[in-house]
Amino acid sequence: MSSTHLSRWLVLASTLIILTYPSAGIETGDLFRYGRDAGDDSLHAGTDGSAEDVSTEEIPLDTNVKFFAREYGAIYVSCYDS
């Protein structure tokens, strides 16, 4: 077997070993705390009693953020249920 064939075989074998090695994904809870236990609030129902189109009041940010070339100093959190 030539050295080129041997190198290709080693790369293929290494790749297969890496791809078949058992791994575990992470869950959302591993990234950050959220929910009522973390101090989050729920949005209140809309004027018709549904949660169809509700949002918070304006929430000022400590630091402005750029989003698609525009700069924002406040955000709204909303829920639209279609």
Question: Is 71 within the bounds of a domain?
Answer: yes
**Cα separations (Å) of 60 from 4, 63, 72, 73, 80?**
61, 9, 9, 6, 21
79 or 16, which is more confident? 16
Domain holding 72, by residue range, is: 43-82
Question: Is 19 within the bounds of a domain?
Answer: no
In sequence order, what are the residues at sequence separation of 6 or more whose Cβ sits closer than 8 angstroms to the Cβ of residue 4?
none
Question: Is 73 within the bounds of a domain?
Answer: yes
What is the distance between the alpha carbons of residues 53 and 55, in angstroms, rounded to a whole number?
A: 7
Question: Is 10 within the bounds of a domain?
Answer: no
Question: Is 28 within the bounds of a domain?
Answer: no
Question: Is 66 within the bounds of a domain?
Answer: yes
| Averaged pLDDT for residues 18-33 | 74
What is the model's pLDDT at position 50? 60
Instruction: Flag whether pLDDT at 12 surpasses 80.
Output: yes
Question: Is 32 within the bounds of a domain?
Answer: no
Question: Is 6 within the bounds of a domain?
Answer: no
Give the number of domains in the chain.
1
Give tens-digit pLDDT for 28-76: 667 777 777 887 777 666 666 565 667 788 899 999 999 898 999 999 8
